[in-house]
Amino acid sequence: MRPAAMTVLAIETSCDETSVAVVRAGVVRANLVASQVALHAKYGGVVPELAAREHLRNLAPLVRGALAGAGVRPGELDAIAATQGPGLPNALLVGLKAAQGLAFALRKPFFGIHHHEAHLFSPWIAGQPLRAEFDTWQPHVSLIVSGGHTMLVAVATEAEHRVLGATIDDAAGECFDKAAKLMGLAYPGGPEIDRLARSGNPEAIRFPRPLLRESHDDFSFSGLKTAVRYYLRDHPAVLESAGALADLCASVQAAIVEVLVTKTLRAARREGVGCVTAAGGVTCNRALREALTRACAGEGITLRLAAPALCTDNAAMVGVLAARRLARGVPATDLDAELQPGWSL
């Protein structure tokens, strides 16, 4: 089989986004995402049982919609892929078992994909229409920043990577969300802080930059969230003034961004790579994108940021990773393979 002709159907249900993609000949022909943000917003966070039920409701229509949108019949698929872990167990179960069932019925190989490994691939999917861009691939250091994870990964080849460091407590997105909650902003708070910070002064308040000076690659953001809590306790009037709130948002954001960018660039230098990538929901953040762009340009490092639509959870990255595996002849995953909610990269 020519790799170029391969067609993969991919499913992602690890958290609160149901997503189905069809990747054909390296092109993302469909990438449907049903976000559950509105459902979970009133609880201020993801409710696992509700997430699983919503995946069940959404999945079959999305599979039909993705195939129809891509103009692909089930019989034309060469493989089925799904996120196998890590994630919310009941949420993962919905996508994983559906994908294994489809693979069984269609007699096609199944690929169980690691969610973070898929995030590592997302910066390499770009263009209009979105397509896999591996001709310019090179060893790199990747920053994965989402609501659940913050980690730095050294990627040597498409199949070899090493986690350099990760958060020892809250993830960067969690810090954005918790700080926003303290300010009374809507969930998820990251995009709200990003929006309000645009008119604020990032130097108005000097928040701590946790572990910035340490030479290791671990992160810690819970102290920063606590600093915001104390700041609000001591300056309650901030919440009454749009200008002061914008300054607070810009200052919190600046602290998070400085830590992420400084540690990413330091890791890239130490690993001797000429390329940095970033993916995960927080990579949507405008200040982070700008700061990474500036820092990498200053050091002659190539930067690949995941496209905003592929920063948050999506099946396109799962499908592209599976298609690359299929093309390399990597053995398929067992059809009765179990989910791996705590799978480490």
Q: Quick one: what does residue 54 bind among ligand KG4, Zn ion, none, with the CB cut-off 5 to 8 Å set by partner type?
A: none
Beta-sheet pairing, 160-166 with 150-157: antiparallel
For residues 31 and 251, give the distance between their C-alpha atoms in angstroms, rounded to a whole number: 35
Tokens of 38: 């509105």
**Cis before 86? omega within 30:** yes
Name the segment binding ligand KG4 (CB under 6 A); options: 51-59, 74-82, 260-268, 281-289: 281-289
Report, in Å, the least distance between residue 104 CB and ligand KG4.
29
181 SS3 class: helix
DSSP codes of every residue in 42-78: TTTS--HHHHHHHHHHHHHHHHHHHHHHHT--GGG-S
How many Cα atoms occupy the beta-carbon half-sphere of 85 within 13 Å? 11
Pair 95, 10: CB distance under 8 Å: no
Q: Pick out residues in 102-161 that bind ligand KG4 (CB under 6 A).
A: 146-148
Given the complex with Zn ion, which of 194 and 247 has the nearer CB atom?
194
Given the complex with ligand KG4, which of 112 and 280 has the nearer CB atom?
280
Q: Quick one: what does residue 194 bind among Zn ion, ligand KG4, none, with the CB cut-off 5 to 8 Å set by partner type?
A: ligand KG4
Given the complex with ligand KG4, which of 247 and 313 has the nearer CB atom?
313
Beta-sheet pairing, 140-145 with 275-279: parallel
Given the complex with ligand KG4, which of 83 and 333 has the nearer CB atom?
83
Given the complex with Zn ion, which of 259 and 310 has the nearer CB atom?
310
Q: Quick one: what does residue 123 bind among ligand KG4, Zn ion, none, with the CB cut-off 5 to 8 Å set by partner type?
A: none
Residue 141, φ and ψ in degrees, nearest 5: -110, 130
Question: Which positions lie near Zn ion, rule CB under 5 A?
Answer: 146, 313
Question: Can you tell me which of 110, 121, 124, 176 binds ligand KG4, judged by CB under 6 A?
Answer: 176
For residues 90 and 298, give the distance between their C-alpha atoms in angstroms, rounded to a whole number: 45
Q: Pick out residues in 191-230 that bind ligand KG4 (CB under 6 A).
A: 191, 194
Report, in Å, the least distance between residue 17 CB and ligand KG4.
7
**Would you count residue 170 as binding ligand KG4 (CB under 6 A)?**
no
For residues 50 and 38, give the distance between their C-alpha atoms in angstroms, rounded to a whole number: 12
Q: Pick out residues in 179-198 that bind ligand KG4 (CB under 6 A).
A: 188-191, 194
